[in-house]
Amino acid sequence: MEKKVKGKPKRFFFKETIIIALALFVLYFPSLKYQFVWDDKEIYINEVNLPRTETISAIPNYFVPKKDKMYIPITYTFWNIIFNIESTDDRVYNPYSFHFFNLVLHIINSILIFLVLLRLLGSRRFAFFGAMVFALHPIQVESVAWISEARGLLAGTFGFSAMLLYLKNKIGPFRNYLIPLLLLCSMLSKPSGIVFPLILIALDGYLNGFTPFKKLLQRNIFILILVIPFILLAMYGESSRTIEFSAPMWIRPLLWLNAIGFYLFKIFIPINFSACYGLTYSYLVANVFNFFAILIFVGVLFVMVLLKKKEFWFAMIIFVLGFLPVSNLLTYYYQYWSTVSDRYVYFSMFAIAFGLSFIVKEYFSKYFYYIFGIVGIILFFFSKIELPKWENERTLWSDCIEKYPNRIPHPYLGQGLIFQNDGNYPRALDYYNKAIELDSNYYFGYYNRGNLYYDLKQFTKAIEDYSRVLKINTKYLNAYVNRGLCLMNLGQYEEAIIDFTKAIELDSKQFDVYYERANCFIEIGMKEKAVEDLKFCLKLNPNFEQAKSLLYKTLK
């Protein structure tokens, strides 16, 4: 008979740790050779965030909130350290080291889940089962294989560590300095980390009772206060995003319930995962059958009521809290492309690990080894199937188009960009046209098609597309800039100045826009205005040699 672990384990469990690490290394080893995809280089791993020179000095700047960026200073700091340790003399961005970092974080998180479950379940083998479910489930592939989601993995590392420390010390986090520090680091790794203070409160309620609720809140008032500034920071970071979008209030509860059911369905039927499901609220309204996932959630609740186990209710509370910031009750940036995404339930998978471990322990204990073997093989197999699509941009968008061809235009845009970068303009144009065909209000499609026409020097067609963009989204800065450049090429300098001025109103730190506007002022004989723009351009970027040269010629 198995000896149960009660309270504090007296030794570390090296066998379980080695098996978890080995299984994950075998599973994700191919991803170490994968490329950057999606937003990896465009938004995160680039010269702006990880400058090739004076990299360490950039770290303090990460902690200054910016209106157009997700506030993830600790993640940027870790990426900075990785880049400095790994970089050779040529200072290139090597995806290998960043992929390796993701894998290490997922291994650490899976071990933390094992230790947390060990204290909650009091059983070594059932905790190990839950940890392997968390580690191997294919819904986790996106978080591990996509470099950008190091932010979520890192937030999980700090958050799960806080949970473990809470259970180890049996005290509320407000009485311990380290727990709030870990929660703070989680929220500084990714804004979604704000769920961990709420999860700790739920954990407190599970262990010590949810009633009276007032006392539960009083015990945890400090961590509730800790969350407030990060909610404001998250709102500040999203405030100037280029997408002007908001789901109607009446549909948000339905989107939330549907998301819960969708994730439960994907977790228990682990097939057809996608980087972009395309389940936007407009698509769901037009195809109401896709709301069937709400019935799955209702069915699970019905079973929970029948079984009358507080463990199931605790698991459901944690599951729902785990993706609360992106639950669709509030508008968020990615919701424009889909109301669901695999990476959003990375934290919530702890609840699944706990719930399944409890079910096996409570009802199927004598079949444990059979269940462990079958579940482990199935999850490993399906994760192996899902992993290769993350190899590069082409495989990623091809997979999206193959699985869900008529839902959303974004994968077609991604494929179009690949062909355009390869110089295959006809194929790129086909994909952009398909994107626009799927959604006539998809201004990214018009914008990128406009860029293609610009490359082909078909400036009139490009202007038409940029104008369509600005009819849909009046705050899309790049469309003003590029339309201005087209107008310059057509000799329409005064019209170009209007567009450049609008771009500067949207973002006054675009030094290259001042330079282009200065060129227009020179062409129409307004040299004083040109000098003002060039001086301000050089104030923003003192090393801009073209601006220096033009200023010298203008003053001469």
Least confident of 56-70, 208-222, 416-430: 208-222
Maximal CA-CA distance, the chain = 92
Residue-wise pLDDT tens digits, 238-265: 544 545 566 788 889 999 999 999 999 9
Using alpha carbons only, give the angle 292, 297, 299 rounded to the nearest 5 degrees.
95
3-state helix, strand, coil split of the chain in percent (to 5) is: 75, 0, 25
Task: Give the helix ranges, DSSP H, for 387-442.
Answer: 393-403, 410-421, 425-438
The residue count for the chain: 556
pLDDT of residue 233: 64
Least confident of 322-336, 343-357, 525-539: 322-336
pLDDT, average across residues 499-512: 92
- Helices 443-455 and 425-438 pack at an angle, to 10 degrees, of 160
Q: Residues 6 or more apart from 33 whose CB is under 8 A from it? A: 96, 99
pLDDT of residue 2: 47
Using alpha carbons only, give the angle 294, 296, 298 rounded to the nearest 5 degrees.
70
Residue with tokens 């003399």: 89
4 and 122 Cβ atoms separated by less than 8 Å: yes
Q: Please name which of 161, 177, 193 lies closest in space to residue 326, comparing C-alpha atoms.
A: 193
Residue-wise pLDDT tens digits, 280-311: 888 888 888 889 999 999 999 999 999 889 99
- Judged by DSSP in three states, 305 sits in helix
Residue-wise pLDDT tens digits, 127-176: 999 999 999 999 999 999 999 999 999 999 999 999 999 888 655 444 56
- Residue 289 has which token pair? 């059958």
Residue-wise pLDDT tens digits, 447-495: 999 999 999 999 999 999 999 999 999 989 999 999 999 999 999 999 9
pLDDT of residue 176: 66
Q: pLDDT confidence of 217, banded at 50, 70, 90?
A: confident
Question: Each residue of 355-372: b (16+ CB within 10 Å) or e?
Answer: bbbbbbbeeeeeebeeeb
Residue with tokens 């998180």: 109
Rg, the chain, Cα only: 26
From CA 162, how far away is CA 41, in angstroms rounded? 31
DSSP string, 262-299: HHHHHHHS-----S-----HHHHHHSGGGGGHHHHHHH
Using alpha carbons only, give the angle 324, 326, 329 rounded to the nearest 5 degrees.
75
Residue with tokens 């609008």: 502
DSSP letter (8 states) at residue 249: G
Task: Evaluate if residue 231 carries a pLDDT over 90.
Answer: no
- Sign for the pseudo-dihedral over CA of 549, 550, 551, 553: positive
Task: Evaluate if residue 323 carries a pLDDT over 90.
Answer: yes
Residue-wise pLDDT tens digits, 1-57: 444 444 444 456 788 999 999 999 999 999 999 999 988 988 898 888 888 776 777
From CA 442, how far away is CA 413, in angstroms rounded? 10
108 and 159 Cβ atoms separated by less than 8 Å: no
Residue 489: other Cβ atoms inside 10 A: 14
83 and 50 Cβ atoms separated by less than 8 Å: yes
pTM for the full model? 0.88
Q: Please name which of 295, 290, 327 lies closest in space to residue 404, comparing C-alpha atoms.
A: 290
- Residue 536 has which token pair? 């301000």
pLDDT of residue 153: 98
Residue-wise pLDDT tens digits, 51-94: 877 677 788 888 888 766 788 999 999 999 988 887 666 678 88
Residue 52: other Cβ atoms inside 10 A: 12
189 and 181 Cβ atoms separated by less than 8 Å: no
Task: Evaluate if residue 237 carries a pLDDT over 60.
Answer: no
pLDDT of residue 244: 58
Residue-wise pLDDT tens digits, 125-141: 999 999 999 999 999 99
Q: pLDDT confidence of 178, banded at 50, 70, 90?
A: confident
Q: pLDDT confidence of 331, banded at 50, 70, 90?
A: confident
Percent of the chain with pLDDT over 70: 92
111 compared with 179, residue with greater pLDDT: 111
Residue-wise pLDDT tens digits, 340-380: 999 999 999 999 999 999 999 999 999 999 999 999 999 99
58 and 49 Cβ atoms separated by less than 8 Å: yes
From CA 476, how far away is CA 245, in angstroms rounded? 13
pLDDT of residue 58: 82
Mean confidence (pLDDT) of the chain: 89
